[in-house]
Amino acid sequence: MKSYLGRWAVFAAGLSLAVIAMPQRVSAQETDYDLEKKKLEVAQAIEGLVADDAGLQRFFDDSYGYAVFPSVGKGGFVVGGAHGTGLVYQGGSLIGRSTLKQLDVGLQLGGQSFIQVMFFQGEEDLDRFKADKIEFSGQASAVAITAGASADIDYAKGVAVVSKAKGGLMYEATLGGQTFEYKPIGY
């Protein structure tokens, strides 16, 4: 039995690393169709989040910018990983694409899919994100969107993060270890 669990842990770790190392689609070769499809996914994610908590609309309206990842996949068994692609907006206008990656080790089990939105309070906060300088400590967490949850959202170092589970079950919900790659539209 112990040998079986060891093999499973190695398999899960390898699978998690493979997901993180997958080639990124954030590139100049991305077609107009792919971009339009991603815009639709983002619009649907925003619509669903605001439908769940109308108070969230003020963050979309008042933040300097935001990044929306409409479908982040996460899985792990001791070693875990997450991956998602999204779009970045400034003043409500699309300015770029982004890729989210996460690799972590620790107590975790399962898999899930979720929406993640990062709000940037000011220009310098969005600039840090675009320069790939946003980092989360191991204890950072996102506010899970439910009715009225927007009352608990606050900026920490100029960034506020919200998430909404789409499916699956994962014992672990921190942001530690997330990295982002930003590419302006047209590149």
- DSSP secondary structure, 5-46, as one string: HHHHHHHHHHHHHHHHHSPP--STT--HHHHHHHHHHHHHHH
The string over 153-171, giving b where at least 16 C-beta atoms fall within 10 Å of a residue's C-beta and e elsewhere, is: beeeebbbbbbbeeeeebe
Count structural domains, the chain: 1
pLDDT of amino acid 123 = 97
19 Cα distance to chain centroid: 15
Question: What's the CA gap between 35 and 69, in Å, rounded?
Answer: 13
pLDDT of amino acid 94 = 97
pLDDT of amino acid 10 = 41
Q: Which domain does 130 fall in, by range? A: 2-184
Structure-derived torsion over alpha carbons of residues 102, 107, 118, 47, reported in degrees to the nearest 10: 110
CA-closest candidate to residue 112, choices 157, 57, 163, 72:
72
Asked if residue 61 has pLDDT above 90, the reply is yes
CA-closest candidate to residue 72, choices 93, 51, 94, 101:
101
The residue-averaged pLDDT of 101-111 equals: 69
pLDDT tens string 5-57: 444 444 444 444 444 444 444 444 557 789 999 999 999 999 999 998 898 99
pLDDT of amino acid 62 = 94
pLDDT tens string 129-171: 999 887 665 445 566 665 556 566 788 889 988 888 876 555 4
Burial class (CB in 10 A: 0-12, 13-18, 19+), 45: buried
Confidence band for 65, pLDDT divided at 50, 70 and 90 = very high
The residue-averaged pLDDT of 105-125 equals: 82
Of residues 102 and 172, more confidently modeled? 102
pLDDT of amino acid 20 = 42
Alpha helices in 96-151 (DSSP H): 123-130
- DSSP secondary structure, 136-187, as one string: --TT-BPEEP-TTGGGG---BTTEEEEEEEEEEEES--B-TTEEEEEEETT-
Per mean pLDDT, which of 72-81, 116-125, 163-172 is the most reliable?
A: 116-125
